[in-house]
């Protein structure tokens, strides 16, 4: 089953204690980084990064300012394609 994001599907969870929602441009950035991770980083590491970024975008809530996933997105988007490594 394929999930797509739309603003209508975003719901605040809980009262007062929930993390702020990601802005639409932050969701798009995480998804773009996920696609780039699959192309730029060959093998399981690229797939792992892509899955983590997609999960973050689908969750839709921003964590702490020093959260690892936004840092991962920045670093992935800064990469050019890495050369394939022979097993």
40 assigned to some structural domain: yes
86 assigned to some structural domain: no
Percent share of the chain, pLDDT over 90: 49
pTM (2 d.p.): 0.69
Encode pLDDT of 9-21 as tens digits: 444 444 555 778 8
12 assigned to some structural domain: no
26 assigned to some structural domain: yes
Question: Quick one: which of 56, 62, 57, 54 has its CA closest to 19?
Answer: 62
9 assigned to some structural domain: no
* Count of structural domains within the chain: 1
Q: CB atoms < 10 A from the CB of 82, how many? A: 13
φ/ψ of residue 81, rounded to 5: -65, 130
């Amino acid at each position: 089953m394929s999930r797509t994001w739309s603003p209508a599907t975003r719901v605040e969870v809980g009262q007062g204690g929930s993390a702020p929602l990601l802005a639409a441009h932050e969701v798009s950035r995480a998804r773009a980084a996920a696609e780039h991770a699959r192309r730029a980083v060959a093998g399981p590491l690229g797939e792992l990064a892509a899955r983590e970024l997609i999960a973050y975008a689908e969750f839709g809530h921003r964590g702490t300012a020093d959260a690892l996933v936004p840092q991962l997105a920045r670093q992935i988007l800064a990469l050019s394609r890495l050369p394939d490594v022979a097993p």
